């Protein structure tokens, strides 16, 4: 074990080193740097917990400083850290037992560090509430396969098979995540539910025709209508509505050889998957609209920003766009705003754009090539998008 004198007199060397006090308490000694011209000494605890090493910095050894952590104090802090690990395990043991499925979203939120008011959480709470209204509120493993099947048949009178599948996907994801975090070994019946005639009731989402796209271009180019701005951005980029409505001014790069959008996650906009991060060239109507937007603000579409919930109202924007598109054509029997993505894919195929580039543009690519995001990469994508304008 160390003494106060030894700790005080440990020299600052040219290389970092550490000295053991007792049972996992170390004093780490760092060399002199520009940031720390006198070097640095700090305490570190290393505790073996459930066959894993848990580490924690306990504070600096700084005599005559208000933040000084002495040898005695470091030993106390190490003991507290060990107790924290033990208490955390006890808490997990308590949570592991007798948790009804209605309590799972709260546990999911806490461990995932999500916002309770987010659309994702609202959906899963709604999905669980719909099920518990029919089957009752119990622990996940207590629902039998027959009961889940009865609930599915009940839901078929209200919604499509695709909606039921999405309901169970969200419930399954939450239950599996909580099971993993709390080390619950029970089996549940929400994975791969047996949905009769699944997919047979699916209505194919139609593409816009070339004539419809031409008319939309005439309407949106030069418009000052926010919904038409969004339509114009979607026509030639393949973005999702939620991606476009959450654009920041800094995301749009116009002063370069190939104008483009850098689409990435920000504090108010989640992307559907990690593959949704991408560079999208601006051509045609999307470029024309981009040049007309107001870049003096942080967000390009602030009217759709819910600052209290810290998220963009993608559903509201989508509904508004669909209503505007129906108004332009004077008919309800037209494709939805989501169909711009599918239509763009059709257009790119018609100009023989390679599949990997189509997937990169629309955010479906699972691997990233070496040139991804570089000027040459963006220029290649722009070439195919420009060719598709004549579709």
Regarding whether 310 and 228 lie in a shared domain, the answer is yes
> If pLDDT is split at 50, 70 and 90, which confidence band does 90 have?
low
Per-residue pLDDT at 364 exceeds 80: no
> If pLDDT is split at 50, 70 and 90, which confidence band does 249 have?
very high
> For all residues of the chain together, what is the average pLDDT?
88
Span 360-387, average pLDDT: 80
Span 227-238, average pLDDT: 95
Regarding whether 245 and 152 lie in a shared domain, the answer is no
Regarding whether 306 and 229 lie in a shared domain, the answer is yes
Per-residue pLDDT at 221 exceeds 70: yes
Which letter does DSSP use for residue 97 in this model?
S
Domain that holds residue 341: 210-390
Regarding whether 379 and 249 lie in a shared domain, the answer is yes
Please give the C-alpha separations between residue 207 and each of 43, 340, 385, in angstroms, as whole numbers: 63, 7, 17
Query: Is 190 within a domain?
Result: no
Helix (H) or strand (E) holding 122: helix 119-135
pLDDT of residue 66: 86
Regarding whether 370 and 284 lie in a shared domain, the answer is yes
How would DSSP label each residue in 36-73?
Answer: -TT-EEEEEEEEEETTEEEEEEEEE--TTSTT---HHH
Per-residue pLDDT at 368 exceeds 70: no
Q: Write the pLDDT tens digit of every residue in 283-320.
A: 999 999 999 999 999 999 999 888 776 778 888 899 99
Share of the chain above pLDDT 70, in %: 91
> If pLDDT is split at 50, 70 and 90, which confidence band does 272 have?
very low
Regarding whether 313 and 379 lie in a shared domain, the answer is yes
Per-residue pLDDT at 351 exceeds 70: yes
Tell me which of 71, 95, 119 is where a domain ends.
95
Span 115-133, average pLDDT: 88
Span 14-25, average pLDDT: 91
Share of the chain above pLDDT 90, in %: 58
CA 171, 177, 179, 180: dihedral to nearest 10 degrees?
160
How many domains is the chain built from?
3
Span 188-192, average pLDDT: 92
351: exposed, middle or buried (C-beta count within 10 Å: 0-12, 13-18, 19+)? middle
Span 42-52, average pLDDT: 88
């Amino acid at each position: 074990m160390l003494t106060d004198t030894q700790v005080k007199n440990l020299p600052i060397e040219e290389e970092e080193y550490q000295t053991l006090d007792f049972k996992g308490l170390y004093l780490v000694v760092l060399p002199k740097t520009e940031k720390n011209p006198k070097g640095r000494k700090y305490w570190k605890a290393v505790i073996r917990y459930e066959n894993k090493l848990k580490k924690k910095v306990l504070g600096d050894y700084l005599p005559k400083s208000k933040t000084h952590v002495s040898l005695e104090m470091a030993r106390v802090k190490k003991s507290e850290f060990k107790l924290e690990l033990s208490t955390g395990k006890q808490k997990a043991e308590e949570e592991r037992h007798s948790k009804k499925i209605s309590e799972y979203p709260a546990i999911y939120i806490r461990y995932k560090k999500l916002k309770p008011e987010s659309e994702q959480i609202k959906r899963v709470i709604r999905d669980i509430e719909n099920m518990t209204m029919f089957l009752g509120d119990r622990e996940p493993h207590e629902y039998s396969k027959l009961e889940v099947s009865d609930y599915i048949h009940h839901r078929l009178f209200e919604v499509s098979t695709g909606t039921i599948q999405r309901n169970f996907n969200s419930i399954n994801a939450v239950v599996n995540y909580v099971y993993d975090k709390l080390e619950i070994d029970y089996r549940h019946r929400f994975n791969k539910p047996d949905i009769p005639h699944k997919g047979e009731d699916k209505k194919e989402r139609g593409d816009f025709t070339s004539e419809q796209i031409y008319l939309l271009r005439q309407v949106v180019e030069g418009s000052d209508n926010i919904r038409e701005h969004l339509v114009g951005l979607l026509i030639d980029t393949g973005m999702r509505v939620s991606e476009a409505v959450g654009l920041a001014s800094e995301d749009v790069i116009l002063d370069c050889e190939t104008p483009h959008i850098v689409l990435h996650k920000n504090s108010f906009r989640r992307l559907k998957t990690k593959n949704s991060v991408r560079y999208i060239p601006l051509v045609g109507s999307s470029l024309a609209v981009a040049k007309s937007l107001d870049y003096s603000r942080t967000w390009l579409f602030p009217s759709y920003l819910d600052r209290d919930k810290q998220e963009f109202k993608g559903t509201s924007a989508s509904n508004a766009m669909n209503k505007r598109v129906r108004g332009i054509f004077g008919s309800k029997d037209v494709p939805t705003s989501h169909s711009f993505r599918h239509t763009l894919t059709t257009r790119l195929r018609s100009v023989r754009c390679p599949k990997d580039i189509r997937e990169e543009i629309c955010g479906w690519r699972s691997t990233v090539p070496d040139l991804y995001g570089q000027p040459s990469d963006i220029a290649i994508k722009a070439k195919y998008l420009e060719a598709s304008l004549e579709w």
